[in-house]
């Protein structure tokens, strides 16, 4: 019986966004239905188009933004006052947990949305691009502070994001952390020489 506590009446909207991001990681965008989001979040079904007039596309857009900001905050925290290697660890640590806890069923929601973005929803591609760009910016800034040149820091940041996202996919297929571990070993070595 839906007792409304202070501040709880409005978080059904946020729960939907979080659940969408969660489900996208496992089933992808097309594979996740609105009814799945409702069931997982426990949010009421009747208020979907009240909170999200733009429908599924808007929900997905906000889910991507949410995931992007969430992860960026983690990177930022780990990069501040850390060395170059911790920039890699910051980006890897999060997904290592996601992979293990989901038994290699979940990946990155931003990737999931990107690889099936349709022409009729350019907002999704833009939200994903923004998330990727922010991660790279944060990592590049950290690498610069550690001593890398701006150009090199930008290239390395792109490599880190690309390699870790790719390794996450390989881990899911292989059901093992080996690809991620191998990539981390190489990336750390590379980051160490770049700031020397």
Partner DNA sequence: GGGTCGCTATGACGATCGTCATGGTCAACC
Partner DNA sequence: GGTTGACCATGACGATCGTCATAGCGACCC
Residue 9 interacts with DNA (CB under 7 A): yes or no:
yes
Output the smallest distance, CB 131 to its own copies, in A.
8
**CA-to-CA dists, residue 120 to 9, 28, 125, 131, 138, angstroms:** 33, 17, 10, 20, 30
Count CA atoms closer than 13 A to 191's CA, side-chain side: 28
- Find the binder of its own copies among 57, 85, 169, 177 (CB under 8 A): 169
Question: Which partner from the list its own copies, DNA, none does 179 bind, CB cut-off 5 to 8 Å by kind?
Answer: its own copies
Residue 47 interacts with its own copies (CB under 8 A): yes or no:
no
Which 3 state secondary structure label does DSSP give 141? helix
Burial class (CB in 10 A: 0-12, 13-18, 19+), 119: exposed
Question: Which partner from the list its own copies, DNA, none does 172 bind, CB cut-off 5 to 8 Å by kind?
Answer: its own copies
For DNA, the closer of residues 42 and 97 by Cβ is 42
Site string for its own copies, 135-164 (x = CB under 8 A): -------------------xxx-xx-xxxx
For its own copies, the closer of residues 29 and 66 by Cβ is 29
For DNA, the closer of residues 51 and 188 by Cβ is 51
Residue 191, token pair as written in the block: 């980051």
Site string for DNA, 25-54 (x = CB under 7 A): -------xxxxx------xxxxxxxxx---
How far is 156 from 190, CA to CA, in rounded Å? 9
- Dihedral of CA atoms 156, 166, 118, 13 in degrees, nearest 10, equals -90
| CB 63 within 8 Å of CB 123 | no
| CB 124 within 8 Å of CB 58 | no
How far is 2 from 191, CA to CA, in rounded Å? 52
Site string for its own copies, 112-131 (x = CB under 8 A): x-xxxxxx-----x--xx--
Output the smallest distance, CB 17 to DNA, in A.
13
Which of the residues 56 through 75 are near DNA (CB under 7 A)?
Answer: 56-57
């Amino acid at each position: 019986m839906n007792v409304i506590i202070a501040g709880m009446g409005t978080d059904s909207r946020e729960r939907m966004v979080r659940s969408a991001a969660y489900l996208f990681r496992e089933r992808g965008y097309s594979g996740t239905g609105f009814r799945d989001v409702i069931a997982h979040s426990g949010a009421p079904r009747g208020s979907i188009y009240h909170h999200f007039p733009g429908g599924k596309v808007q929900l997905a857009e906000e889910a991507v933004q949410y995931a992007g900001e969430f992860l960026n905050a983690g990177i930022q925290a780990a990069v501040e006052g850390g060395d170059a290697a911790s920039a890699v660890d910051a980006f890897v640590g999060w997904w290592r947990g996601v992979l293990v806890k989901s038994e290699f069923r979940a990946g990155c929601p931003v990737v999931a949305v990107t690889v099936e973005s349709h022409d009729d929803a350019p907002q999704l591609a833009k939200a994903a691009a923004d998330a990727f760009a922010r991660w790279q910016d944060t990592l590049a800034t950290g690498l610069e502070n550690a001593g890398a040149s701006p150009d090199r820091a930008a290239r390395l940041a792109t490599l880190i994001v690309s390699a870790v996202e790719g390794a996450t996919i390989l881990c899911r297929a292989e059901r093992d952390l080996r690809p991620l571990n191998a990539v981390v070993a190489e990336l750390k070595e590379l980051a160490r020489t770049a700031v020397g």
